[in-house]
Amino acid sequence: MFDDINIKLGLEPIKDNDVPTFDQMREAIYQGSRDSHLIRGSLDAARYRGLSGEDTYVLLAYQALIHLESVHKRLMRMVSLTPMPPILMKESDVPDTLRR
């Protein structure tokens, strides 16, 4: 039923050994700002404050790390409170029988 739904939130992970250039990373960040309130909010705050390019990316990295830490803390809390913690694995390791 939901097999045809493609959810895109911000940036997509880098595929295999494909290492993007800095210009490609910048473009991905600006493209991702359309779908991600985290990216858009950080870039808007940087523009509002009149930050330089370097300071904009420091703000973006700082905000991303704060959100990552928050998600990590919630996950650790969930794992510690759950009688049987969820099994976490990379998408590439998920057997085909469990994929939707």
Locate the domains of the chain by residue range. Answer: 22-88
Name which residue leads in pLDDT, 84 or 56.
56
Distance CA(55)–CA(48), nearest Å, equals 12
- Residue type, position 46, single letter: A
Contact 11, 28 (CB under 8 A): yes
Q: With beta carbons less than 8 A apart as the criterion, state whether 28 and 20 touch.
A: yes
Residue 72 has pLDDT above 80, yes or no: yes
What are φ and ψ of residue 3, in 5° steps?
Answer: -65, -30
Q: Residue 65: which pLDDT band, with cuts at 50, 70 and 90?
A: very high
Distance CA 100, CA 28 (A): 27
Across the range 72-85, mean pLDDT stands at 81
pLDDT at 69: 94
pLDDT digits (tens, 9 = 90+) for 2-51: 455 555 667 777 676 777 888 888 888 888 888 888 889 999 999 999 99
